[in-house]
Amino acid sequence: MARRARRLGAGALGVLVLVLAPSAKAGNGPEPRTPIDWTGAPCMTIVDRSVSATVHLDYAIPMEDTELTADEVEDSRRHQFFGFCRALDPQTYLPRWITQADVERAREIGIAPQVVNASNVMETNTEWAGCWHRINADDERRPITYAAAAEGVDWDTTELAPGTYVIEGYTWEPPLNIWSSRAGVIKVVDDPDPAFSPPAVGISNTQDVIDQAETVTIEGCASAEEGSTVTAYWGLPAGEVTWQPFIENDPVLGESFAFEFDPPAEVAGESVMIRVDIADPSGRRYTHYMRELVYVLGDPYPEACEGNVFVDPDCDATGSSGGAETGDVGSTSSGVGVRSSTGSEPDAGQDGGNGGSGGCRVQQPRSSFGQGLLLLGLVAGLRRRR
């Protein structure tokens, strides 16, 4: 899978330089995109179809965005919503385009690349075949207005298989369309008794920044029959992830859980992915991922200010402790911005950058300006790449 860039905390956008990777020639190309704000989404939503098959989803927008430039498609700057049958790990891209027809429409006015890989179009991407479901149709993409957002969106789950789904919001504004992840899961059942449906689990945490000597509490929700267990793993987002368990076969007690992740010494100065698996006595399983990374800071008082350690204000530019703050914290990659207080970095190049699928993804703001600046340095210095 293509790997996706980490999102920044609120405030980081104020210091992030927004540069469009050279691709199409659209006037709106370097403009930031407006994400969907999923703040307040519950960790677990159960849709009991014996009562109603429709679930209402609330969302918000950071600002209205309706003023098109002359070289945009006529229905640009719209929002669409999708359900997926499995969770995404926090480094996975979704395709940037939904249909080949979308590509052709954008290409006709010169704002789509001449070559778009099949993996970068949802309807031809084999990895997600049969797993994605439109909540609203392509020709019913919603304007980015406060009035539209206030209505929320209804999802009719009648045709879905029972199971657990995650929700993604999509901002249609070619050539660089973006995704906005909704926290939590939607569990669709035909009987309220957990014994008659597969187990479900969700992680509530988003971004966390901790010192190497600290622990972080991983919190979440569960819906499963009695006797189910959870196993939690950590992994480094580099190449093929090796998942290391830190909680194994912990009994599920009630509808929520909380356990401590004590980062091992080898992840100091690294970013860590968190995964939780749930299994029931019948052998049915579900996997969910923390939507953001846990950033584990390195030694705050290093002998030399070099390598992937967080910049210490007591380190000077020569690498010794006790001087001015170093001026070299790495550099951010160029990419399209987001019309909100959070940033997202797309895959480089015209079509995913790596020849595969690619699509920007954003996370809703949750941190202060100071944390935004801190995370900007972390993303530049700590982010691991394939």
Domains of the chain are 20-192 (no CATH), 195-294 (2.60.40.650)
Average pLDDT over residues 34-47: 96
Q: Is the pLDDT of residue 351 over 80?
A: no
Q: Binning pLDDT at 50, 70 and 90, where does residue 247 land?
A: very high
Q: Is the pLDDT of residue 277 over 70?
A: yes
Q: Is the pLDDT of residue 12 over 80?
A: no
Mean of the per-residue pLDDT values of the chain: 79
HSE-up (13 A, CA, CB side) for residue 371: 15
| pLDDT at residue 362, as a whole number | 60
Average pLDDT over residues 55-70: 96
> pTM here?
0.76
Report the percentage of the chain scoring pLDDT > 70.
70
Q: Is the pLDDT of residue 339 over 60?
A: no
| pLDDT at residue 337, as a whole number | 53
| pLDDT at residue 361, as a whole number | 61
CB 6 within 8 A of CB 321: no
> pLDDT tens digits, residue range 109-133?
999 999 999 999 999 999 999 999 9
What one-character-per-residue DSSP string does 139-197 give? GGPEEBSHHHHHH-EEEE-TTSPSEEEEEEEEEE-TTS-EEEEPPSEEEEESSSSGGGS
Q: Do β-strands 178-181 and 132-134 pair in parallel, antiparallel, or remain unpaired?
A: unpaired
Q: Between these two residues, 305 and 322, which has the higher pLDDT value?
A: 305
Q: Binning pLDDT at 50, 70 and 90, where does residue 315 land?
A: low
Q: Between these two residues, 17 and 382, which has the higher pLDDT value?
A: 382
Q: Is the pLDDT of residue 273 over 90?
A: yes
**Residue 245, amino acid:** P
The number of beta carbons lying within 10 Å of the beta carbon of residue 140 is 11
Q: Hey, which bits of the chain come out as E strands?
A: 44-48, 54-57, 78-84, 132-134, 142-143, 153-156, 163-172, 178-181, 185-189, 200-203, 208-211, 216-223, 229-235, 244-251, 256-261, 271-279, 285-289, 294-297, 360-362
